[in-house]
A and B are shown apart, each in its own frame.
Chain A
Amino acid sequence: MLVSYNWLKKYVDLGNLTPEELAAKITKSGIEVEGVEYVAEKSTNVVVGYVESCEKHPDADKLNLCQVDVGEEKLQIICGAPNVAQGQKVAVAKPGAVLPGNFKIKKVKLRGIESNGMICSLKELGIEEKYIPTDIADGIFVFPEEATVGEPVDELLNLNDAVLELDVLANRADALSMLGIAYEVAAILDQPVKLPDEAVQVEESATVANYVSVEVEAAELNPYYGAFMIKDVEIKPSPLWMRNYLMAAGIRPINNVVDITNYVLLEYGQPLHAFDYDRFGSEKIVVRRAKHDETLTTLDGQERILTDENLVITNGKEPVALAGVMGGLDSEVASETTNVLLEAAYFDAITVRKTVKQTGLRSESSTRFEKGVDPNRVRKAGARACLLLQQYAGGKVIAGTAEFDRLDRTEKVVEIDTPHINNRLGTEMTTDDIASILKRLQFDYKQDDDHFTVHVPTRRGDITLFEDMLEEVARIYGYDNLPFTLPEGAGQSGGLTVRQHLKRRVKNFVQGAGLMETLTYSLTNERDVKRLISPEVASSAASPVALAMPMSEDHKYLRLSILPELLNVLSYNRARSQVNLGYYEMGSIFISGQNELSEQPDEQLRISGALTGIWSEQAWQQEKKEVDFYVVKGIVEGLFDFLQIPVTYSQTKVTDMHPGRCAVVKVADKTVGFIGQLHPTLQKQLDLKETYVFDLNLEEVFAAYDAVPSFTAIPKYPSIARDIAFILDKNVHAGDVKKVIEEVGAPLVNRVDIFDLYQGDNLEEGKKSIAYSLLYQHPEKTLKDEEVEESYQKIIAAVNEKFNAYVRS
């Protein structure tokens, strides 16, 4: 809502407050003023001039040579505007004038003839182009005859007015009107409100009934409809002051009738609509739901196809207006209009809202109906418009109103009392303090000791509960005056849950391992939603969860894997020459087993990582090392080791992954994710070098986590280390051999590590050598050499039998 400071002054005494000071007060009391702008940048030395003569420039077709009387002197001015003419009163920038944009006016010669000043357009005077009436968009501004020659124009054109831009939130429908703002400011400043004049002299010779009747078929959507009849209007520009205020409020003046309906809309917050009576098409107004597929061409020339969700004003045959949203083109007020049928109605907020959503038509009218207008101001606004039409369009207002009326105009009653208010606010207000606040708000009340029965004016439809009144009292009292206290309740012990702690620890671990955390979008595109899905997710998810109305193809589906976005992040960085990267993200994926979603999808917490480029930089006496499978596996192993969860890895093929370099990760035989290298084809597509990833289901990992492990005694007896190297077939997995060693060696073998892999010259074709180090330890005694030797031989025999392996000498 744009509020003109000068216009507001008509209703409330603003004292010596500057617009900026006023804005600060309004903001502090509850309606945020987002900015204070001036109608125009300051100009100097621009006055009203009278064009005494206007002739063509002898040497230029498009220029006019004007003699202009500016009061103290007469100036010869050359003017290029097409609409300049003898007899006009115009805005003249005299030599020495400064126009907005620091445009200095000097005496010049144009095609050999002296020009001593400039006749100005509104644009040149600094008014925003979009508010300038279209008929003078390319020309100079012409004052009404009564303008005084020599008078400065800034006041006449309201150029120095300040406009406060108010951010009116959904609850404060009352603040969408100058009167509403006036009540608000009056309460803040403790001032009375001067209400506008609505008393109109009517023509008693006829009554409205002679011209029109009103019928409402959908009373629940239109509890009040009033029609006024104004005859013999003359369409012309509205008075200058009205045009000034409209422009300040961001509305382009059109003609007196349209301007008056807009002016009253802004003044009262009550939308009105003027029909051309002679083009209305009947003497009967029928308000009803639209029929399915019925059409109406609205004022903007668009044909609208309607449904029975829309409310329409009809002439008994066809729609002439979309109720509360926009009028129809056919009955629009035009230059030849003489008789005006004026609508002042109350339309249901939800219906208007739905129509706006459906048609995309948002107007000054619909904005107000959507939020709810004041039921007690509908008739008053109609009367006010009639008065203005009489004053400024020469109209004759016919007596009476054609009405349909089932509107509830009763005031809401809210009970408040001093102790309750103080308890909820933490204040120590007196009953008198509260009474004075109610007076400032101009709310009627009955007082019984410290208890108030408040009759809330209907303009404040947002106040229905004690808490609403609490806010009113608090904001006028001033939030600044509330004390600072801390809760006195005994409270509870706060803190993180085990799961929340774990999330932090896992993050800390992988960060310590060198990975940088990312945050990417949960919404993804059709290509990525199908990529790199962990096998156990793929087997439980139906189709991905999709938005009903996505904003773009890029953000259409909820992700089934974090990896595709992580890879996009790698590509993004690579495109910016950042090539050595280790990233991870912890977040949810969204799994639904349903193709047609009827319940919330399962939100599964996962952690995914993607690594590419050099992992260990080249340094003095140290080779650089690229990321490989075992770097990623090391991080994952480290994580499970940290969490003390046993885990196994087995070679598997996963879509989009390198078929020979991918393993699923299992905890207690349950797949919890995978690690490996991206498929080279995908790498190429994403313009990535060798890239390795991991992806783990943290729900399963956390489930396997033992938060409070019981104490295990630190071994007291010495351990014995034995190394052993096997020659194996190349295709034997080192991990499988390790498993056999562990099984056969149990319980004496405490730990088995793989410490060397050799494939090369001294070995038979197709063979490799893997070296294991075994740690023997007994919890309750010192092991004897014979015991160790016996176990050692058993292990050799078992591995030999199972893998056809022999010990490398």
Chain B
Amino acid sequence: MKEQLEALQADALQRIAATETIRELQDIKVAYLGKKGSLTGVLRGMGKLSKEERPVVGEIANHVRTAITTALEEKTEKLEQAELEKQLEEETIDVTLPGRPVKVGGPHLLTNIVQEIEDLFIGMGYEVREGPEVETDYFNFEALNLPKNHPARDMQDSFYITNELLLRTHTSPVQARTMQEYNGEKPFKMICPGKVYRRDTDDATHSHQFTQIEGLYVDKNVRMSDLKGTLDKFAKKMFGEDREIRLRPSFFPFTEPSVEMDISCKVCDGKGCSVCKGTGWIEILGGGMVHPKVLEMGGYDPEVYSGFAFGMGPERIAMLKYGVNDIRNFYANDIRFLKQYHKA
């Protein structure tokens, strides 16, 4: 019987080795190890053996079973592997064909600039506030130390709707509104971005509608050097750590002292070129210490509180930062323009 079993094993292993498909392997498994298989058939004859012979033959039978099973598994795995490789080979694609197109949208350049400035000041503890675009004469002018007939009102000829209502000429009314809301009691830092309107004929450098961002900080003991330090941080983050700033005296009715801030020209690094008109400096924004009358009208006691304010035009910043040469580009919305900057 032993010889019988060994012959069976040899026969099985030979057939397994010769097989090339998984299906045949399954057939072999059934043929040898199945209920009606050869091995089972041989083992059925075990009953005829003597008591002593049985364990010996049993052990041999187990060896044979294990040998066939192992051979089957190994061969299956080998064939499966080969099949997978064949499949992968067949599945190979041309990776240089283009991907399925995704529609690409994006923000307007000015939105990017505004958000960048917002985030920068939020990082310094500022809140962002908004206000109406149709303003009252009071908030747009009077509360900002610009009484009726003030010559500085000429600086920003306005679109009036009625005698008392107009399109805001700057975002400063949001400052006045914020002071009134905080009732002269609470120190605060805020910036206010938004659309503003002035009676200008649209050309390469003028637009009857444009964007502004202003900032205001009111507290006890605010110093002009704080304004200088804050603007320096802003300029370096916005235009590069290697930029220098310079403050120049200026005039705005709502600040005293007033400043204008220049940054060193990036094109010539301050040496003087056509971009900075040979001065080495480029004007970026205006600001100053909040005028005592403005504080007072906002409900803050100018003897106790002081503050600084500043304002800038994102269009101008975009023009300087990216070399956009005509302000009308921002409002024409030519797709070829927008696409240049939506990642900015």
Contacts and interface: CB of A to CB of B under 8 A. Distances in A.
Contacts of A470: 256-257, 289
A545 B107 contact: no
B100 A619 contact: yes
B161 A546 contact: yes
A701 B221 CA distance: 43
A500 B230 CA distance: 24
B7 to A, nearest CB: 54
B274 interface: no
A496 B128 contact: yes
A504 interface: yes
Contacts of B292: 465-467
A504 B119 CA distance: 12
Interface stretch (A270-278, A548-556, A792-800): A548-556
Interface in A526-555: 545-551, 555
Contacts of A350: 149
B207 to A, nearest CB: 9
Contacts of B279: 24
A494 B103 contact: no
Contacts of A663: none
Contact of A485 (B98, B103, B195, B226): B226
Interface residues of B, number: 92
A622 interface: yes
Nearest to A422: B223
A28 B248 contact: yes
Contacts of A465: 256, 292
Contacts of B248: 27-28, 30, 32, 479
B301 interface: no
B333 A545 contact: no
Nearest to A484: B229
Given A512-B105, A518-B333, A427 B187 contact: no
B79 interface: no
A333 interface: no
Interface in B190-234: 195, 197, 199, 201, 208-209, 217, 219-226, 228-230, 232-233
Interface in A474-488: 474-475, 479-480, 482-488
A514 B98 contact: no
A303 interface: no
B154 A170 contact: yes
A517 interface: yes
Contacts of A488: 221, 226
Contacts of B118: 496
A316 to B, nearest CB: 30
Interface stretch (A147-155, A445-453, A595-603, A753-761): A595-603
Interface in A12-28: 24, 27-28
Most buried by A among B118, B225, B335, B338: B335
Given A475-B257, A495-B127, A578-B334, A467 B97 contact: no
Contacts of B133: 522, 588, 590, 603
A513 B105 contact: yes
Contact of B105 (A497, A514, A590, A603): A514
Nearest to A519: B108
B115 to A, nearest CB: 7
A142 interface: no
Given A467-B256, A468-B256, A597-B165, A474 B108 contact: no
A516 B221 contact: no
Given A474-B257, A548-B161, A588-B133, A425 B125 contact: no
Contacts of A24: 279
A470 B249 CA distance: 12
Contacts of A582: 103, 105
Contacts of B226: 426, 485-488
A510 B220 CA distance: 44
Nearest to B201: A551
Contacts of B167: 522-523, 547, 558
Contact of A487 (B107, B150, B217, B232): B217
A648 interface: no
Contact of A507 (B110, B111, B259): B111
A474 B160 CA distance: 37
Contacts of B239: none
Interface stretch (A101-109, A280-288, A569-577): A569-577
A519 B230 CA distance: 30
A423 interface: yes
B107 A494 contact: no
A427 B223 CA distance: 9
A548 B224 CA distance: 40
B143 to A, nearest CB: 15
A172 interface: yes
Interface string B258-278: 111000000000000000010
B149 to A, nearest CB: 5
B291 A424 contact: no
B216 to A, nearest CB: 12
B134 interface: yes
Interface in B107-127: 107-108, 110-111, 115, 118, 121-127
A791 interface: no
A302 B342 CA distance: 55
Interface in B79-111: 97-98, 100-108, 110-111
A16 B111 CA distance: 49
A587 to B, nearest CB: 8
A171 B277 CA distance: 26
Given A170-B251, A371-B151, A494 B333 contact: no
Contact of B342 (A471, A482, A516, A620): A516
B155 A547 contact: no
B148 to A, nearest CB: 9
Interface in B38-94: none
A603 B187 CA distance: 29
Given A350-B149, A519-B110, A558 B134 contact: yes
A354 interface: yes
Contacts of B125: 491-494
A57 to B, nearest CB: 47
A486 B233 contact: yes
Most chain-A Cβ atoms within 10 A of its Cβ — which of B121, B221, B251, B306?
B251
Given A484-B232, A518-B333, A622 B224 contact: no
A353 interface: yes
Nearest to A493: B125
B335 A467 contact: no
Contact of B338 (A28, A497, A516): A516
Nearest to B162: A597
B105 A480 contact: no
B97 A620 contact: yes
B246 interface: yes
Nearest to B130: A500
A662 to B, nearest CB: 23
A18 to B, nearest CB: 13
Given A170-B251, A353-B149, A424-B306, A578 B335 contact: yes
B332 interface: yes
Contacts of A474: 224, 249, 257
Contact of A492 (B127, B208, B333): B127
A784 to B, nearest CB: 38
B217 A545 contact: no
A442 interface: no
Contacts of A485: 223, 225-226, 228-229
A517 B331 CA distance: 11
Nearest to A558: B134
29 contacts: A30-B249, A170-B155, A350-B149, A424-B223, A424-B306, A426-B224, A467-B291, A479-B259, A485-B226, A487-B189, A487-B222, A491-B189, A491-B219, A495-B128, A516-B105, A518-B338, A519-B111, A521-B209, A546-B161, A550-B159, A551-B201, A572-B333, A573-B335, A578-B335, A587-B195, A600-B165, A603-B132, A603-B133, A619-B100
Given A424-B289, A488-B226, 4 more contacts: A170-B152, A350-B149, A555-B208, A572-B332
